[in-house]
Chain A
Amino acid sequence: MVEKILQSISKIPAFPAAVQKVSELLRDDDYSTRDVVKVIQYDQAITANIMKMSNSAYFGSRQRIRTVQEAVVFLGRKYLHSAVLTAGVSRFFQVSGGGYVEKGKQLWEHSVAVAIMSQILSRQLYKREDPVLYTAALMHDIGKLILGEFVHDACERIEALMKKRNCSFLEAEEEVLGINHAELGGRIADQWNFPPLIRDGIAYHHRPDLLAEEGSVAGLIYLSDQFCLMAGIDGGVDGLAHRGIGSVMKKFQLREVDLERNLILLLDELDQAADLLQLVH
C-alpha cells in the first residue's frame, strides 16, 4: 500500500510556476511591480482569482481594483505572496472528493481557515504577517487530497480502529495505510521543491513535538488546525480525533483564554474572507 501511495506522488500536477516565480521576485525588497504583473498574467487562472480576491475585505480593500497592476500595487509586500499563493493552489482542491473528504470545497474551507488562524497567531505573537507560515498552513492537508483515491476501503478500517483503541486518526492512519496524511504532504512538498521550513510545517502539523529543532511553523499550524477543528471547521472524516499537545501551547505562552479570543477573531476574519472561500466550488 505505502509503495503505491508514494508512487502516486510522481503523478500529481506540477506546482504553479507563476507562484514560485512571484516568491522569487518578492525576495528582492526592491521588486518591480511590472515584473510581478507579467508573471501573474502568464497564468490565466491566477489572474482571474487575483481579481476576485483583491477586492476582498480580508486584504483591507476599500476602493475598487480593476486591473492586475492595481491589485499588485494595492496588495503590496504584506499580502501579495499570500494572495498569489491562494489564487494559484485553489486548483488542487477542485475535486469531487471520495475517501477522506466529501468535497474538495470542504477541505479548501478548512485550509483557508487554518491559514487565516495562523496569521492571527503570528500577529498576536510576533506582530506581523508571515507568508511562509501562511503557505504551509494553506497546504497543510495536501496529503489528504492525494490519499483520497486510496482510502475508499481503508476509511472504514481507520474508523473502526479509532473506535476500538480510542486512538487518534493519525495513529489509525499509520497502522492501516502505513503512512499518515501529514507525512505524505511533506513528501509532496519535497516533490514541489518547497523550502524545508514549509515541508516540515506540513509533515509535522499534528506532531510538532517530534521535530528535533522545533521551529515555530509546525507548532503554529498545529495550533491553528486544532482551533479550527474546535470551531467545527474540519477537514473531513477525522473530526476532532487528534491529540492535544499541551506543551505546544506552553511553548508559545498561550492560555485557554487566548484560544477563545482567537476563535472570535477567526469568525470575523472568515466573514471578510468570503471571496477566498469561494475560489473552490
Chain B
Amino acid sequence: MDIVVGISDMKCSNKKEDILVTYALGSCIAVAVHDPAAGVAGLLHFMLPDSALDGAKAVQAPAMFADTGIPLLFKACYQLGAEKRRMTVKVAGGASILSDTDYFRIGQKNITAMRKIFWRNNVLISSEDTGQNFNRTVRLNVADGTCLVKVSNGTLKDL
C-alpha cells in the first residue's frame, strides 16, 4: 500500500507490502532510512533547517525541521525494531532557485543542516540526490529499501 508522507511529516512501517511516498520536495529534504534485517523503513519530509525559528511549532510538528525531524525518524524506526548500525540512509531534495544572492538559500541550508546532524551522530549517508533546481518525488520500498527519485522533468533515478 502507498503511504503518503506530507510536507513536514514522517511515517515508518514494517509491512513488506508498504511503499512510503512523498511528493514535490522543492527545497525540502526527504530522508529515507531502511533496516534490512528488521524489515523496517522510515521516510521524513522536512521543510526547514532549524527549530530555533519557532519553538512552539517544533513541539507541535517536529517533522518540520531537520534538527527535530531526523531524531524523530530514527526513534520511530527503533520502536519497530530497527537498529542504528544496520540502517541505510538515503536523502533527496534541497533544490534551489537559480540565485546569485543569499536571500533564497533554504535548499542549501537544509542540506548543510542535515549533513551536520548526521556527521555529529556518526551516520553515513549512503547515497543522495540533492541540490540543483528540480522538484523531486521519492518512493521508498519497505520490503527491500529501494528508493526511487522522480524528477520534475520525468527522469527516474534509483538511489
Which among A159, A166, A168, A239 has the highest number of chain B CB atoms within 10 Å?
Answer: A239
The 8 A CB mask of A227-239 against B (1 = contact, 0 = none) is 0011111101111
Q: Contact between B98 and A244 (Cβ–Cβ < 8 Å)?
A: yes
Q: Contact between B48 and A246 (Cβ–Cβ < 8 Å)?
A: no
> How far apart are B127's CB and chain A's nearest CB, in angstroms?
21
Quick check: which of B12-20, B70-78, B99-107 contacts chain A, the rest being far away? B99-107
Q: Point out the residue from A233, A239, A244 that lies within 8 Å of B99, measured CB to CB.
A: A244
Q: Contact between B102 and A256 (Cβ–Cβ < 8 Å)?
A: yes
Q: Answer whether A246 and B28 are a contact pair too, CB < 8 Å, given A241-B133, A260-B53.
A: no
B41 contact set on A, CB distance < 8 A: none
Q: Contact between B97 and A233 (Cβ–Cβ < 8 Å)?
A: no
Residue of A nearest to B107 (CB): A230
Q: Point out the residue from B23, B98, B152 that lies within 8 Å of A242, measured CB to CB.
A: B98
Q: How many residues of A contact B (CB 8 A)?
A: 32
The 8 A CB mask of B103-146 against A (1 = contact, 0 = none) is 11111000000000000000000000000011100000000000
Q: How distant is the Cα of A254 from the Cα of B104 in the complex, in angstroms?
A: 11
Residue of B nearest to A234 (CB): B135
Q: Contact between A232 and B133 (Cβ–Cβ < 8 Å)?
A: no
Which among A234, A241, A259 has the highest number of chain B CB atoms within 10 Å?
Answer: A241
16 residue pairs of the A-B complex, CB under 8 angstroms, read A229-B97, A230-B26, A230-B97, A231-B7, A231-B47, A232-B7, A234-B24, A236-B152, A239-B95, A240-B96, A240-B133, A249-B103, A255-B103, A263-B48, A264-B47, A267-B8
Q: Answer whether A241 and B106 are a contact pair too, CB < 8 Å, given A232-B27, A234-B135.
A: no
Q: Answer whether A229 and B26 are a contact pair too, CB < 8 Å, given A237-B152, A239-B133, A264-B64.
A: yes
- By a beta-carbon cutoff of 8 Å, the part of chain B in contact with chain A is 7-8, 23-28, 47-48, 53-54, 57, 64, 95-107, 133-135, 151-153
Q: Contact between B103 and A240 (Cβ–Cβ < 8 Å)?
A: no
Q: How distant is the Cα of A237 from the Cα of B102 in the complex, in angstroms?
A: 25
Q: Contact between A239 and B98 (Cβ–Cβ < 8 Å)?
A: no
A159 contact set on B, CB distance < 8 A: 153
Which among B57, B101, B134 has the highest number of chain A CB atoms within 10 Å?
Answer: B101
A249 contact set on B, CB distance < 8 A: 101, 103-104
Q: Contact between A230 and B98 (Cβ–Cβ < 8 Å)?
A: no
Q: Contact between A233 and B100 (Cβ–Cβ < 8 Å)?
A: no
> How far apart are B64's CB and chain A's nearest CB, in angstroms?
7
Q: Contact between B27 and A244 (Cβ–Cβ < 8 Å)?
A: no
> How far apart are A99's CB and chain B's nearest CB, in angstroms?
13
Residue of A nearest to B151 (CB): A239
> How far apart are A222's CB and chain B's nearest CB, in angstroms?
11
Q: Contact between B103 and A244 (Cβ–Cβ < 8 Å)?
A: yes
